[in-house]
Homo-oligomer: A and B are copies of this chain.
Amino acid sequence: MRQKITLKHIAKELDVSVSTVSKALKDSIEISLDTRQKVKAFAKLYNYKPNNIALSLKNRKTKTLGVIIPEIVHHFFTTVIGGVEKVANEKGYNVIICSSNNSFDKEVINMEMLASGSADGFIMSVAKETQQKKDYHHIQETMSQGMPVVMFDRIIDELVCDKIIIDDAKGAQTATNHLLSIGCKKIAILTTVDYISVGKLRTNGYLRALMAYDIPQNDEYILKIEDVDNCEKEISDFLKNKDIDGVFAVNELFAVTAAKVLSKEGINIPNDVSIVGFTDGILSKHFIPSLTTVSQHGEEMGERAAKLLIEKLESEDTTTEEYRTVIIDTSLVERESTKKTRKK
């Protein structure tokens, strides 16, 4: 089992000093052409690759971006990661992904781990539990050590850092408006509990849209789902025999589940009830009927986040403390679930 080859090995083998080898490999003109060629040939032959760990230690930078997300088995987040990776690779950075699994503790552990030498900066979306506990010491700690953090999607308002978000309220408003514009009057919303920031914002957008249409808020039409894993029962109970003609769901799963539940009760979508979801994932696209939804442009979010982070990492003057909040436009993807054919 051949060992990993180092400069030292090459030096000994060729009977020169380590620094000569180092320089030769960098084509330094300090070294004679002869030696350079000899060294490089040897290095190639033995497939020499500099040890990143040593480089990181020396340069005090790892050239890798740490990404911390709440869930890895989640289409939206993986889309964002795709964007991050794209930009990162273009600029010669690597990407380390860790999932917090929505656990505060795991988020802290992961962050500290990456912060202690494995990454130069962070792109993150916080765990549900973190939003609930409102304990951000690990993030603050990381930032105060000089490591830039870019938050996306599930951000923390109180933290001063770069942020990439969508205008959740606006997106929700657009979605609800769409329902209103096609004639829906009794629109239910399936949302999350309030401590999930995006859930709350989307609920606000929904309410705003209603208000603009002079429709009073009706708590009968609002379902705040706590246990996402068992949402089917909650949604089913909630929708049963409810007199509605539209549903706005703050995520894809809720939208699909609503569609399923309603279909089972013999309600036609979109003719009896129209549905708009949030997040443009595979479910919305492939479901029958396909679901109208608010696209968050995850890949773009990832790209912007990576760009921002790398920019910060590479800006020499660490004195300028300037933080940006980028708002990515959402767009409504109209599909079958809101294509009414009925008369008014």
Q: Looking at chain A's contact residues, is the secondary structure mostly helix, strand, loop, or mixed? A: helix
Which of these, B4, B78, B117, B256, contacts A145 with CB under 8 Å? Answer: B4
A200 to chain B, nearest CB (A): 25
Q: Let me know if B106 and A89 touch, CB within 8 A.
A: yes
Which of these, B49, B117, B283, contacts A53 with CB under 8 Å? Answer: B117
Q: Let me know if B57 and A85 touch, CB within 8 A.
A: no
- Residue A128 CB within 8 A of the other chain: no
What are the interface flags for A1-31 relative to B under an 8 Å C-beta threshold, 1 for contact and 0 otherwise? 1111000000000000000000000000000
User: A3-B146, A73-B79 known; A94 and B85 CB under 8 Å?
Assistant: no
User: A82-B73, A141-B47, A256-B286 known; A1 and B52 CB under 8 Å?
Assistant: no
Which of these, B73, B89, B113, contacts A75 with CB under 8 Å? Answer: B73
Alpha-carbon separation in the docked complex, A75 to B286 (Å): 15
User: A4-B145, A78-B73, A79-B73 known; A113 and B98 CB under 8 Å?
Assistant: no
Alpha-carbon separation in the docked complex, A96 to B66 (Å): 10
* CB-defined contacts of A259 to chain B, threshold 8 Å: 288
The chain B residue sitting closest to A61, CB to CB, is B53
- Residue A183 CB within 8 A of the other chain: no
Alpha-carbon separation in the docked complex, A225 to B183 (Å): 42
- Residue A151 CB within 8 A of the other chain: no
* CB-defined contacts of A62 to chain B, threshold 8 Å: 53
- Residue A112 CB within 8 A of the other chain: yes
**What size tier do the contact residues of chain A reach?**
35 or more
Residue of A62, A78, A110, A112 with highest tally of chain B CB at under 10 A: A78
- Residue A81 CB within 8 A of the other chain: yes
Q: Let me know if A53 and B118 touch, CB within 8 A.
A: yes
Q: Let me know if B97 and A51 touch, CB within 8 A.
A: no
Give 23 A-B contacts (CB < 8 Å), ordered by A residue: A1-B146, A2-B144, A2-B146, A4-B145, A4-B146, A49-B112, A51-B57, A51-B116, A52-B116, A52-B117, A53-B57, A55-B117, A56-B117, A72-B82, A73-B78, A75-B75, A94-B110, A94-B118, A97-B97, A253-B286, A256-B286, A259-B288, A282-B283
- Residues of A at the B interface (CB closer than 8 Å) are 1-4, 47, 49-57, 62, 64, 72-75, 78-79, 81-82, 85, 89, 94-99, 101, 106, 109-110, 112-113, 115-118, 141, 144-146, 253, 256-257, 259-260, 263, 282-283, 286-288, 318
A85-B98, A259-B288 known; 13 new pairs, CB 8 Å cut-off, are A1-B146, A2-B145, A2-B146, A53-B62, A54-B57, A72-B78, A73-B78, A73-B82, A94-B98, A94-B118, A260-B288, A286-B287, A287-B288
